[in-house]
């Protein structure tokens, strides 16, 4: 009788783990001053930064700040399915940070 429950429980655990394994990404706009430079980028985020725009904003600002950039805004959060459509637009800043 135990075997009847083991398979469904294992399957349920696997299905619930699926979304956690999926990537979390954001697209953003940033700037540098003197001279003014702007860029649009795509960045991969840890799960902890994917709970909402505020958490993503803090993580992105910290990471791009090391390159001398200031975050202007977070455009959106998305999964792996949104990467290809943003690749060309992000250019050099596609998954750079």
Instruction: Give residue 4's pLDDT.
Output: 52
Global pTM reads: 0.75
pLDDT in tens, 27-64: 999 999 999 999 999 999 999 999 888 999 999 999 99
Give the burial class of 40: count Cβ atoms within 10 A of its Cβ; 0-12 exposed, 13-18 middle, 19 or more buried.
middle
Q: Name the token pair of 60.
A: 């992105």
* Phi-psi label, residue 72: left if phi above 0, alpha if psi -120 to 50, beta otherwise: alpha
Instruction: Give the angle subtended at the CA of 61 by the CAs of 74 and 69, to the nearest 5°.
Output: 100
């Amino acid at each position: 009788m135990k075997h009847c429950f083991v398979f469904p429980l294992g399957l349920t655990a696997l299905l619930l783990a699926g979304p956690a394994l999926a990537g979390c990404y954001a697209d953003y706009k940033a700037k540098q001053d003197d001279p003014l430079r702007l860029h649009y980028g795509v960045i991969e985020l840890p799960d902890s930064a994917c709970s909402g725009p505020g958490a993503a904003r803090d993580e992105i600002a910290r990471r791009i700040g090391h390159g001398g950039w200031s975050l202007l805004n977070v455009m959106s959060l998305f999964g792996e399915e949104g990467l290809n459509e943003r690749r060309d637009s992000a250019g050099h800043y596609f998954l750079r940070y």
